[in-house]
């Protein structure tokens, strides 16, 4: 999330009412979750395990719960509760705005857009030419939909990220201020859920086709001309290359990379990054050659046990 203008470190510290380390006039341009930070951003960290990752990230201001040595060229905001203070920034710079119409007056619709009855188009949504939005689709605030896109009934574009902190009194949600961007010539089936970025963009690139009942997590990027079959679940912050095929009921864990032209067979569980141009299957997913060797060895276990028992 970029701020509407640049702010000084002191201005942000005063807003949060917390101390800071560094030049009070140091410029802050926005705030982002760790996977999508860039220079000028604030990133938050509240566990020693992730201090180095945050301090060495592209972010130039670190919202942290302990005063530590500050890397050169960066600044610190020292908070007792960085998670809550990050939410304060989200609420301040991008507060929730209720809608009063099924199609917001601030939505921008291209030529020949068809919106079927019961669909909801939120504030500041942008939809390109010749796009069809079917019945009961919900497109949340700020999302961008390209031209020649089809979104089928009951799909939700831009729901909140599934991102919580476990506290003694219950789970505390990290507020989502990002958007979903869907490029041209994308088809999305019915009953899909595509979550907005925590503070950046969940991105579906041109020509990709998504079947029914697919879940795509926050800040995930899906490349061009991908095919994703039904019941696939993709966690947050996954980077998927171009022309990737993902068959039904595949589950993909967060924060990994999947290369171009990968094929993932049905019911696979993907827990690590996958190299381009290979075919994977199984739980955990591995390339076909390695997986078939593994299966062959497993089938030999009874034979080996019998041989051992005869010794």
pLDDT tens per residue across span 173-218: 999 999 999 999 999 999 999 999 999 999 999 999 999 999 999 9
For the chain, the straight-line distance linking the first and the last C-alpha, in angstroms and rounded, comes to: 68
Query: 158 and 195 in contact (C-beta within 8 Å)?
Result: yes
Residue identified by tokens 């060229």 is: 73
Residue 4 DSSP label: E
Rounded CA-CA distance 218/235 in Å is 7
Q: Give the Cα separation of 80 and 168 in Å (integer).
A: 16
Question: In which region does residue 249 sit, left (phi positive, over 0), alpha (psi from -120 to 50) or beta (all else)?
Answer: left
Question: 255: exposed, middle or buried (C-beta count within 10 Å: 0-12, 13-18, 19+)?
Answer: middle
Domains of the chain: 2-93 (3.40.1390.10), 108-291 (2.160.10.10)
Could you list the active site residues? 218
Q: What is the pLDDT of residues 97-143, one digit of tens each?
A: 999 999 999 999 999 999 999 999 999 999 999 999 999 999 999 99
pLDDT tens-digit map of 218-274: 999 999 999 999 999 999 999 999 999 999 999 999 999 999 999 999 999 999 999
Grouping H, G, I as helix, E, B as strand and the rest as coil, residue 254 is coil
């Amino acid at each position: 999330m970029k701020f509407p203008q640049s702010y000084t470190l002191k201005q942000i510290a005063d807003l949060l009412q917390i101390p800071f380390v560094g030049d009070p006039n140091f410029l802050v341009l926005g705030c982002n979750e760790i996977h999508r930070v860039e220079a000028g951003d604030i990133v938050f960290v509240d566990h020693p395990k992730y201090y180095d990752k945050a301090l060495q990230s592209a972010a130039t201001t670190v919202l942290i719960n302990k005063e530590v040595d500050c890397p050169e060229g960066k600044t610190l905001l020292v908070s007792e509760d960085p998670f809550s203070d990050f939410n304060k920034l989200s609420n301040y710079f991008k507060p929730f705005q209720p809608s009063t119409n099924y199609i917001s007056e601030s939505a921008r619709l291209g030529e020949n857009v068809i919106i079927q009855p019961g669909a909801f188009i939120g504030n500041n949504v942008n939809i390109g030419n010749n796009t069809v939005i079917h019945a009961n689709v919900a497109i949340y605030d700020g999302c961008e939909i390209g031209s020649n896109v089809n979104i089928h009934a009951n799909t939700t574009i831009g729901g909140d990220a599934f991102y919580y902190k476990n506290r003694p009194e219950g789970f505390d949600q990290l507020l989502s201020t990002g958007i979903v961007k869907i490029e041209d010539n994308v088809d999305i089936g019915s009953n899909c859920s595509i979550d907005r970025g925590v503070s950046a963009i969940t991105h579906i690139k041109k020509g990709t086709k998504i079947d029914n009942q697919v879940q795509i997590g926050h800040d995930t990027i899906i490349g061009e001309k991908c095919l994703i079959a039904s019941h696939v679940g993709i966690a947050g912050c996954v980077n998927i290359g171009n022309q990737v095929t993902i068959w039904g009921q595949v589950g993909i864990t967060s924060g990994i990379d999947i290369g171009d032209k990968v094929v993932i067979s049905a019911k696979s569980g993907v827990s690590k990054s996958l190299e381009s141009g290979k075919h994977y299957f199984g739980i955990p997913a591995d390339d076909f050659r390695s997986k078939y060797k593994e299966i062959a060895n497993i089938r030999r276990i009874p034979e080996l046990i019998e041989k051992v028992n005869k010794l």
